[in-house]
Amino acid sequence: MHDSWLKAATAGAGSLAIVTWGDWDCRTILESECRFKGIEKPSYFDRWINLRVPFQAALGGGGRVTLQEAVRAAGLDWEGRLHCGLDDARNTARLLVELMLRGVKMTITGSLAPPPPIQQKQQSPQLRTSPCGGSSPLAPLLIQQQQQPPQPHMIIPCGGSPGTCFCYCRVPTRGGVVSMPGPMQGKCFFGCGNWTPAMGPVCPYFVWAN
């Protein structure tokens, strides 16, 4: 039903983007909920706009600004109940419209796309001394040398140290515990080591701990 409505609503409009407040919805909880319930997740949920990013670029504020605080900072009144999914979605949409009316540009801020392939590095040709005292390449063939990947991932029990576990940024991962109510609450996980409260993760690396 949702897909049918979406196709009708966006007919002829070109591409579309999911808009959220934060990266948690599309990056983590929606993925795990669909897997848990055996539901096929539509591919358009793999790219989204974290409205917190353009909001902070336009109006400032720290990484812990809540949706309700952002709505009020934009000069709007909060409508409905706090943390009600439908009311949160409506207020997010109202904030989106307000920012766009102010000329704020919207671009994709998060994605579950796989990381780019490792680029191959070419080795410089060695030189040899010629009989006349000059130098020339040993051979025209260049040996391509692939960069060494990080060490294999080690899934570590909750509370352990992720010292040898690397994300796609090639830095040690950052551990966390699911705090939101649901079937995954209390489970430990490792994610992007460059995660910050303001910008969220840099790469899409995510793995559950044992």
pLDDT one-digit tens code per residue, 110-133: 888 765 565 665 655 554 444 444
pLDDT tens-place string over residues 131-175 = 444 444 443 433 343 444 444 344 444 444 444 577 777 778 888
Average pLDDT (60-78) is: 87
R_g over Cα of the chain = 24
Average pLDDT, the chain: 75
pTM here is 0.54
pLDDT of residue 14: 61
CATH architecture for segment(s) 16-111: 2-Layer Sandwich (3.30)
Hey, what are 160's tokens? 């352990």
Q: Parallel, antiparallel, or unpaired: how do β-strands 206-208 and 188-191 relate?
A: antiparallel
The residue among 3 and 28 whose pLDDT is bigger is 28
pLDDT tens-place string over residues 93-106 = 999 999 999 999 99
The residue among 146 and 29 whose pLDDT is bigger is 29
- Measure the CA–CA gap between 190 and 154, rounded to whole angstroms: 10
- Measure the CA–CA gap between 160 and 172, rounded to whole angstroms: 13
Contacts of 19 (CB under 8 A, 6+ apart): 48, 49, 51, 92, 93, 96, 106
Whose CA is closest to 102, among 76, 121, 82? 76
- Burial class from Cβ neighbours inside 10 Å (0-12, 13-18, 19+) for residue 193 reads buried
Q: In what order do the strands lie in the sheet with 188-191?
A: 174-177, 188-191, 206-208
Whether 47 contacts 18, CB under 8 Å: yes
Average pLDDT (75-81) is: 94
Domain boundaries, the chain: 16-111, 149-210
- Measure the CA–CA gap between 24 and 21, rounded to whole angstroms: 8
